[in-house]
Structure 1
Amino acid sequence: MAHKLWATAALTFLAGEALLRTYWLSGGRWGYTACDRTDLGDPSNGCGAAQVTSLPFWPGWGTLGVCVALAVLVGWALRHPGSPVAVGSVWAAAAALATAAFPLHLLFQIPAAATGRPSDWRDLLARLALVLGAAALAGLATTLSPPRRPRDSAYRPVAPWARRSAYVAVALPLLGWAVPHGLWVLDVPFGIAATELDDIRRNLSLEAAVAITAVPPLAGLLTLGLVQPWGQRFPRWVPALGDRAVPRLLALVPAGIVAVALVTYGALSVGVLVRSLADGSRTWSDLAEGWAVAATLLVFVGWGVALGATAVGYHRATRGAGAVSADSHTPAGLTAGRPA
């Protein structure tokens, strides 16, 4: 059954993580990184991970304990399918893993690494593993939910507010991220301090800069799938999948994970900025000089909120029965104004 397959995937992820942490606790260091993400140093050897003699709590015993707790949660949820508490707990665990993964960083790390910028592959793989674990738990939570009535093959349009949210989710990474970063790559000091612009010029290759600039708006375009027919049914020209219904999880799980990551990253970054202003490490004149850099933090929050709202609209439009068809605003169950 579907829920057993998702449970197997989740337990496999947890077992892998637990074995890796046990290996680290026993003295091994393969896959472990001691790099500070804000100052990689030499990421090729994990910033001296082999020389770390005492493993910090969270990479070791802390994560091992979390893995055991989540495995117990999966087993308990399998014994109580359909229970709102079980389903909600598994969803909460999936959201926690997605938040810990910070998948937004993958949008920058992967293209930067592909274009030759020094990258910490251990951290990159760890984030990818957490994203996969979150997806497995989200799939389990969905299959444990009470079954819904099957939906027909007609396109179910989303509410107008969800469509507007989708357009906002597309516009924000384009105007709030790609435009200023494109200007910085071209050496235009648009809302950025001269020292930061110099850092970009010295430390970022043209290929990496273009990739980092282009990936977020291209990813934002996928949001349109939540409000367009091709987000509910694959176009006919898609090999093997043409004209088949798009699994709801294929749209909702990635959208939910990315929305949580965007809001979390933006909110935490804004918090760090506020704290730096409060302790005097950054002044208001610094903020005014680099206002466009600070504004990108708000872009993340707005983008995440808009994406999340669009995903909610998609969920409401495609669940069960009672939605309207693409050709009529007549509620399901009524025909030509008369009860069916």
Structure 2
Amino acid sequence: MPKVNVLPNVPRWARLAAVGAALTNVPSALWRLAIAVGVPVGLAQSEYDQMGAPGLGSLVLVGLSLISEAFAFLTLGLVQSWGEVWPRWIPYLRGRRVPVMLGTGVAGLGALTTTVFGALFVYTSLNADMEATTLGIWLLNIVYAPLLFWGPLLGAVTVHYYRRRMAASPAPV
């Protein structure tokens, strides 16, 4: 198991928020993977047909799950050493400091995007005309509800990352 370099100057709340943000995607990813392999989750057959799952549409569902998990995992870089110094496996950048504004800008854009996505999901799910069982609609809402926290948690960790990194940076001359 790789050694995780948790930074000593990161408060507990920021570590918990980063882990929370990274985990918000797990329920919806598992739900998509269930659909991809043909596990019934309470949707009507027309919904599965529209997604093309199981079938070629399953590749999209698996890909979306993997990509969203990868982006969520990047939140941990805001509280660990690899968010301050490029890891050794990245050619040309390894060992160099991650620019504060790069980390903050990417994470801030991610926080904004995921917050908007969460709000749009709530609006869409409340106004959607889905063919699903009551259980299916409840399950859909339960597995996607944690995504409402992704943006705010990522935003809080991003602000902390920026403040911590700027406080540690020498003032320009």
Q: 2:30 aligns with which of 166, 179, 186?
A: 179
Distance 1:201 1:321 in 2: 51
> Residues 242 and 318 from structure 1, CA distance in 2 versus in 1: closer, same or farther, beyond 3 angstroms?
same
> What's the % identity of the aligned pairs?
31
* Contact 2:10–2:79 (CA under 8 A) maintained in structure 1: yes
Could you list the structure 1 runs, at least 4 aligned residues long, displaced by more than 4 angstroms after superposition. none
TM-score of the aligned structures, taking structure 1 as reference length? 0.42
- 1:14-25 correspondence to structure 2 within 5 Å: none
Q: 1:230, 1:293 → 2: CA distance?
A: 34
> By how many angstroms is 1:234 displaced?
1.8
**CA gap 1:198/1:159 in 2 versus in 1, 3 angstroms:** same
Alpha-carbon offset, residue 306 of structure 1: 1.6
CA contact (8 A) 2:36 2:59 kept: no
Higher relative contact order (CA closer than 8 Å, sequence separation 6+):
2
Equivalent position to 1:302, from 132, 141, 149: 149
**Which structure's CA Rg is the greater one?**
1
Return the TM-score normalized by structure 2: 0.78
Equivalent AA in structure 1 for residue 66 of structure 2:
A
| Structure 1 equivalent of residue 165 of structure 2 | 318
Correspondence for 2:16 = 164
What one-letter code is carried by the residue in structure 2 that aligns with 1:231? Answer: G
CA RMSD of aligned residues (A): 2.7
Shift of 1:296: 4.7
Question: Counterpart in 1 of 2:92?
Answer: 240
| Match among 287, 290, 294 for residue 137 of structure 2 | 290
Q: Structure 1 CA distance, aligned partners of 2:14 and 2:44?
A: 37
Q: Distance in 1 between matches of 2:81 and 2:101?
A: 16
Aligned CA distance change for structure 1 residues 250 and 191 (closer, same or farther; 3 Å): farther
Contact 2:14–2:160 (Cα < 8 Å) also in 1:
yes
Q: How does 1:78-93 map to 2 (within 5 A)?
A: none
Change (3 A) 1:243 1:186: same
- Shift, 1:247, TM fit: 0.3
Distance verdict in 2 for CA 1:291–1:165, change over 3 Å:
same
Alignment partner, residue 3 of structure 2: none
CA shift for structure 1 position 204: 4.5
Say whether the 8 Å CA contact 2:36–2:57 is kept in structure 1: no
Q: Structure 2, unaligned stretches of length 5 or more?
A: 1-6
> Are 1:270 and 1:297, in contact at CA under 8 Å, matched by a contact in 2?
no
Residue 205 of structure 1 is matched in structure 2 by: 57
Q: Which residue of 1 aligns with 2:78?
A: 226
Partner of 1:192: 43
Shift of 1:289: 2.8
Give the distance between the partners of 2:124 and 2:61, measured in 1 at CA.
25
**1:262 matched to 2:114:** yes
Over 3 Å counting, the alpha-carbon distance change for 1:226 and 1:286 in structure 2 is: same
Q: Are the aligned partners of 1:233 and 1:244 in contact in 2 as well (CA < 8 Å)?
A: yes
* CA distance in 2: counterparts of 1:303 and 1:206, whole angstroms: 24
CA contact (8 A) 2:83 2:103 kept: yes
SS of 2:146's partner is helix
Question: What displacement does 1:235 show?
Answer: 2.9
Q: What letter matches 1:305 in structure 2? A: P
Per-residue deviation at 1:168? Answer: 0.8
Deviations 1:279-334 (A, max 9, x none): xx579x85543223233542332111121121122122212259xxxxxxxxxxxx
